[in-house]
Amino acid sequence: MNTEHVTQFGAPDAPHCNQDTARVTIIPAPLEYSVCYMEGTRHGPQAILDASSQMELYDEELGCCPIEIGVYTRPILDYSGMDHAAALKATGESVRHVLQRGQLPFTLGGEHSLSAPAIAAVREYYPDLTVVHIDAHGDLRDTFEGTPLSHASIERRVVDMDIPLLEIGIRSFSPEEAEFMKSKPDVAIVWAYQMARGKATIPWERLGKHTYITFDLDAIDPGEMPAVGTPEPGGSHGTRRSTSCRKFFSAQLSWEWMSLSFAPWKARHAPIFWLPDWFIK
């Protein structure tokens, strides 16, 4: 293996990190159409990939090099000339292509609306799919700023697909969403205030064999992860979140799928380096 250009998201010369042999395929998706406050999510995938090339491959906690399971990164999706609907369709098609190869798709955003087509694609292969949504916001509005495709509506689209949903870390919720929740027993929410008080019980038992994780980085406390479009006071810290996710992964029986959103800051690089190490675990 030529380690000069190896990253935590794949090694160009490694036999287990190519398109045909990888177990995990990263789909960089620089989506940015419905961002309503701070822009920059379109730069997230490239920034994360760049930072990953400057980090060591060995993980002292796991005692191994995680990329050795086989990680391949596809070329960054090109949304040039596409409207929001077309870009979402292209994202879903990319996820289907990875699934057709029997690989685990990891969609690296990009704004959070990319999760809806990715989840829909996975659902076609795994009808018993459940979704874990880790976020500061509920994202359960029917529409936001005139569009049902908004990043603020993605989990409503999941509910529309009759997929059981578990939301974790929520601390920003609209009256519309609160009213909607009254009639939705298939949606469970673990609130941020419950987690902060140490009184949260995460109902992992609600999840099935196949689970999609959609992660918005504003779930993390903005003091630790400020590079997001809509930061919310409070939230979990990276170490605590990592521990919770490890418990989840160890309890599940099958692979998981993940997407995330990130808006890098040019003047502050530290948040970027937090991501490759954490997500490759």
> Which residues belong to the annotated binding site for Mn(2+)?
112, 135, 137, 139, 216, 218
**Is the preceding omega at residue 110 within 30 degrees of 0, hence cis?**
yes
Number of C-beta neighbours around residue 96 at 10 A: 18
- Beta-bridge partners for 221: none
Report helix, strand and coil shares of the chain as percent, to nearest 5: 35, 20, 45
> Ramachandran region of residue 226, left (φ > 0), alpha (ψ -120 to 50) or beta?
alpha
Alpha carbon distance 133, 115 (integer Å) = 10
CA distance 27 to 24: 10
Return the residue matching tokens 């409070």: 234
Going by the annotation, the residues of the binding site are: 112, 135, 137, 139, 216, 218
Rounded to the nearest 5 degrees, what angle is found at the Cα of 200, between the Cα atoms of 194 and 204? 140
Give me Rg for the CA atoms of the chain: 18
Beta bridge partners of 144: 147
